[in-house]
Amino acid sequence: MLMQAGAAPTAQALQQAVWVACPELVRALLVGGRIEVPGELPPDRTLELWGSFQHNPHPIELAYPCPILTALQLRAAVTNRPVAGSLLQIVDELTAAGYRPATYRNVMVKHALGAPPQAVPLLDPVVDDPRLQLGGTNRWLWLAVQRPAWSPTAHHRFLPRFKRVVRTLLLVAERQRRSGGSGSPGALNLADLPPEVLLRICGLAAYPLSCWMAGGGSSMGAT
C-alpha cells in the first residue's frame, strides 16, 4: 500500500520481505532498482558464531542487514520445504538485482558458549559463520548466489530436476545421432546441433536456479 501511495521502498521493508519468505513482495520492492542496505552492523551487537540458527534462543533476531545473508540465515533455521523453495526464488531475485553477501568491519564475536567477545577487524560471514551451513542445508541457495557456469563436470552440483532434463536431452541427441536423425523432412533435430552448441544451451538453461524446483516451485526435489 505504501508503494502504491508513492513511498520509496526501504531496506527494512526488503529485509522483512525476505524474512517472511515472500518472493512476490521482494520482486515488487525491487521493481524500481536496487535498494541500499546498511553496510555496518549495530555497534552494540556481538555475534555468537557457534551452535546453529535452529537452536537460537532468539530465532526472530536478524543476524545481518544484508538480504542475501538474511535468506541464508532463515533457510538454515527452517526445515519447511515450501519456505526453502521461496527462499531460492528470493535469492535469484536478489542476485539479479546485484546483491552479494556482505562483509563487515570491526565486529565483536563469540566463538563458543561463555567465551569472551573478540574483536574481528573484517568478518566475512560466508567464510566465518558456520551457522549458515553453505555446504549442507544451504547448498542450493549458495549455488544460486555463486552462479557457477554449468558444465558436464559441474553437472552433479545442480538441482535434480535440471539434471534429469539435461540427461534426457543429451540421450535423445545421442540416439538421434546414432540413428542418423529422425522426424519430418526439413525439421531440426538435436543431432543436427554441434555438441558444443547443445552443451551451451544446457548451460544457459541452468539459471535461474529456482526455475528447476520440483512441484511447481514448492520444493527442490530429492538430492
How far apart (Å, rounded) are the C-alpha atoms in residues 74 and 78? Answer: 6
How far apart (Å, rounded) are the C-alpha atoms in residues 57 and 112? Answer: 15
In a 3-state reduction of DSSP, which class is residue 202? helix
Q: pTM value?
A: 0.85
List per-residue pLDDT tens for the chain, 223 residues long: 445 556 789 999 999 999 999 999 999 999 999 999 999 998 888 998 988 887 554 445 788 999 999 999 999 998 888 899 999 999 999 999 999 999 999 999 998 888 899 999 999 999 999 999 999 999 999 999 999 999 999 999 999 999 999 999 999 999 888 887 655 555 568 888 899 999 999 999 999 999 998 754 445 554 4
Q: Which three cell numbers stand for residue 63?
A: 543476524
Question: Which pLDDT belongs to residue 57?
Answer: 46
In a 3-state reduction of DSSP, which class is residue 127? helix
Q: Is 84 exposed, middle or buried (0-12, 13-18, 19+ CB in 10 A)?
A: buried
How far apart (Å, rounded) are the C-alpha atoms in residues 144 and 83? Answer: 16
Q: Are 68 and 101 in contact (CB under 8 A)?
A: yes
CA nearest 20: which of 86, 77, 69? 86
Q: Are 183 and 189 in contact (CB under 8 A)?
A: yes
Q: Are 22 and 94 in contact (CB under 8 A)?
A: no
Neighbours of 137 (CB within 10 A): 20
In what order do the strands lie in the sheet containing 104-110? 46-48, 104-110, 118-123
Q: Which three cell numbers stand for residue 60?
A: 526472530
Pairing of strands 46-48, 104-110: parallel
Question: Which pLDDT belongs to residue 56?
Answer: 56
Question: Which pLDDT belongs to residue 137?
Answer: 93
How far is C-alpha 193 from the geometric centre of its chain's CA atoms? 32
Q: Are 204 and 171 in contact (CB under 8 A)?
A: no
